[in-house]
Amino acid sequence: MPARPDIEAEIHARLVPFPKPHLLGVEDLSPEEALRLLDLADAFAGLNELPRRSLELLKGLTQANLFFENSTRTRSSFEIAGKRLGADVVNLDVATSSTAKGETLSDTAATIDAMGCDLMVVRHAGEGSVAEVAGAVKASVINAGDGKNEHPTQALLDALTIRRAFGRLDGLTVAIVGDLRHSRVARSNARLLPRLGVKLRMAGPPPLMPENPVQGVELADSLDAAVAGADVVMMLRIQRERMDASVAPSPEAYAQAWGLNRDRLALAAAGAKVMHPGPMNRDVEMDSTLADDRNVSLIRDQVRNGVAVRMAVLASLAARRS
C-alpha cells in the first residue's frame, strides 16, 4: 500500500474544480470529466484503506444533507465523506422538520442555505425536484436521487467498482436486470456507462421495462439472454413503493423468472461479477449465496467505493467554489 504522503500528493494532483456548479445528472460530466473524477475517487479509495483517513479539504465549509426519501447507503456515505474531508455536516431530520407544517422543498432548502451552506446533498421523490433546489440556493447541490430520474453518484460508484474489479471499462459487457421502469440507478448508468465504452444490455419483466427507448442500450427479452456472455450482471430492486400494486409481481414468481442464481450466472463470461445497488430483496432479485460470495459479488465494494466517489464529488465542487 502506498504511504500516506504519496496518496495525499496523488489526491492533490488529481483534484480539479468540478466542471459545473452542481451535480444534478451524469450528463453534467463529459466522458473525460467522468473518468477524471473516477481517477480522483481511486486516490480517495487508497486514503480510505489507511488507519487514519481524514483530510482537511472541506475544512470551514458546511455540508447539509436533505433526505426526503429513506436511505442507508447514500446518506451515510455522504455524511462520512464530508466528515472525512473536514466539513461541518448537518443532516436535516425531515420527520421533525417544518416540512410537516407544509413548508415547500425550495423554502426548506433556501432556509438551510441562508444559514451559510456550501454543499447541499438532496434526495426527494419528485423527478426534477433537486434541479428545482439548485435554482433556489447558493450552495452547490448534489442529486442523491430524484424519483425515477437520476442517481448520478450511484452510477459513478458503479463505474468505479467495475473499473477497479476489471482494470478497465472499455469493451466490457454489463447487463442491468430488473425493475428498469422505476430505477434512477438504471437511468443514470444508461447515461454514463456506454459513454465510457461499456456495452450495456438491459432486461426486465415487460411491465417494468422503461417507458421510453434508452439510447445506446441493447434490450434483451429474458434474464438468460441478458446474462449470456456478460462480464457484469447488475440486479435491481423491485421498487414496490413506486408501482401500481396491479403490476407488482409476487416475490416467488419474480425469483423464478428474473432472480439471478448460480445456474443462470454460468451463462455469463468466465470471471463474471454480480452487483446490486441495494437495498436488496434477498432471494428475490438474487440468491443470497451469490450476493454473499466475495469471489463473485461486488456489492460490498460498491458500498465502500461510494464513500470514495462522494469524497471526490464533494472535494471537486468545493475546489470550484474556492
Judged by beta carbon, residue 149 or residue 199, the one nearer ligand CP is 149
Shortest distance (Å) from residue 150 CB to ligand CP? 12
DSSP assignment of 165-203: HHS--TT-EEEEES--TT-HHHHHHHHHGGGGT-EEEEE
Asked if 71 interacts with ligand CP (CB under 6 A), we say: yes
Burial of 126 (0-12, 13-18, 19+ CB in 10 A): middle
- Binding of ligand CP at residue 73 (CB under 6 A)? yes
294 phi/psi in degrees, rounded to 5: -65, -10
- The torsion angles phi and psi of 175, rounded to 5 degrees, stand at -110, 130
Residue 16's Cβ-side half-sphere holds a number of Cα atoms within 13 Å equal to: 11
Q: Which is nearer to ligand CP, 11 or 26 (CB)?
A: 26
Contact call for residue 188 and ligand CP (CB under 6 A): no
Who's near 315: CB < 8 A, 6+ residues apart?
11, 15, 40, 44, 57, 58, 85
Q: At its nearest, how many Å lie between ligand CP and the CB of residue 116?
A: 26
Q: Tell me the three state secondary structure of residue 111.
A: helix
- The grid cell for 71 is 436511505
154 binds ligand CP (CB under 6 A): yes
Please answer whether residues 302 and 158 qualify as being in contact, where contact means their C-beta atoms are separated by less than 8 angstroms. yes
Per-position x/- string for 239-278, each x denoting binding to ligand CP as judged by CB under 6 A, each - no binding: --------------------------------------xx
ω into 249 cis (within 30 of 0):
no
Can you tell me the distance from the alpha carbon of 163 to that of 273, in angstroms, rounded to the nearest whole number?
12
Identified binder of ligand CP from the candidate list 48, 62, 74, 108, rule CB under 6 A = 74
Sheet holding 199-203, edge to edge: 217-219, 199-203, 173-177, 232-235, 273-275
C-alpha cell belonging to residue 306: 461510494
191 tagged catalytic:
no
123 is catalytic: yes
> With CB under 6 A as the contact rule, which of the stretches 11-19, 66-74, 200-208, 215-223 interacts with ligand CP?
66-74
Q: Shortest gap between Cβ of 36 and ligand CP (angstroms)?
A: 23
Residue 57 vs 65, nearer CB to ligand CP:
65
One symbol per residue from 3 to 32: x for binding ligand CP (CB under 6 A), - otherwise; what is it? ------------------------------
> Which residue among 36, 84, 123, 310 is the active-site one?
123
Size of the site for ligand CP (CB under 6 A): 10
- Contacts of ligand CP in 272-311 (CB under 6 A): 277-279
The CA-CA-CA angle for residues 310, 144, 307, to 5°, reads 20
Which CB, 95 or 115, lies closer to ligand CP? 95
Catalytic: which of 14, 36, 151, 273? 151
- 47: closest CA among 297, 312, 294? 312
Active site residue 242: no
Q: Pick the closer one to ligand CP by CB: 271 or 279.
A: 279
Nearest distance, CB of residue 46 and ligand CP, angstroms: 23
Shortest separation between residue 74's beta carbon and ligand CP, angstroms: 3
Nearest-approach distance from CB 302 to ligand CP, in angstroms: 8
**CB closer to ligand CP out of 36 and 237:** 237
Residues that bind ligand CP (CB under 6 A): 71-74, 145, 151, 154, 277-279
User: Known catalytic residues?
Assistant: 73-74, 101, 123, 151
